[in-house]
Amino acid sequence: MNDKEIWERMMSGEIYDATHPHLIQKLEKTRELLYDFNNCRPSDANRLKEIISFVLGSHKKFFQINQPFHCDYGENIHIGNYFFANFNLTILDEAEVRIGDYCFIGPNVSIYTACHPLDSENRNKALEWAEPVTIGNNVWIGGNTVILPGVTIGNNVVVGAGSVVTKSIPDNVVIAGNPAKIIKQTD
C-alpha cells in the first residue's frame, strides 16, 4: 500500500496498519515540532505561534495552547477562534478533530480518535481505525476529561471535570461523570 493509500484509509475510518512507514515518518515529524514547542520559552509567544501553526491543520486568528501539548499528526486538528487549551492537552488525531469558536479546555484533557480491535491477535498486528471528534462553539471542557472516538459535543455545552465522554452530546447541556451524562439543561 502506498503512502497516499494508507493515509486515505486512515482518514476514511477503515482498518489500517499503524506501523506503515509513511505514518511513522509523519508521527516523528510532528514529535520533533512538538519538542520545539514544548521546550520553547513561554515568553517567546511569536515562536510558539509559529511552531504550533506548522503542527495544526488549521486555526483562526485568536487562540492559545499552553505547554505542554501532545498530538499524533496535528494536521487533522482544526480549531476555531478564541480557543484556549490549558496545560497538557493530548489529542490523538488519527481522524479529524474539529473544535469550534470560544472553546475552553481545562488541564489534562485527552481527546482520542484512534480505535483498536478487542481481540488481541489483530490488536497485536497494530491494526487500527479512527473515528472523528467534533466539538461545537462555546464549549467548556473541565480538567481531566477524556473524550472518546466518534463523539460529537454540541454548542453551549459544559463538561464537568473528570468526565469520560463516551457518546455524542446535544446542544445546551451540562454533563458530568463516568460515563458522562446530562445533569442539567441550559438556556
Residue 74 neighbours by CB under 8 Å, 6+ apart: 30, 33, 34, 55, 56, 57, 93
Omega before residue 179 within 30° of 0, cis: yes
Written as nine digits, the cell of 159 is 463538561
Catalytic pick from 22, 70, 78, 116? 116
Angstrom distance (rounded) from CA 140 to CA 95 = 22
Angstrom distance (rounded) from CA 48 to CA 38 = 9
Written as nine digits, the cell of 147 is 473524550
Q: Which long-range contacts (CB under 8 A, 24 or more apart) does 145-149 make?
A: 145/106, 145/109, 145/110, 146/109, 146/110, 146/112, 147/109, 147/110, 147/111, 147/112, 148/112, 149/95, 149/112, 149/113, 149/114, 149/115
Active site residue 70: no
Query: Which residues carry out catalysis?
Result: 116
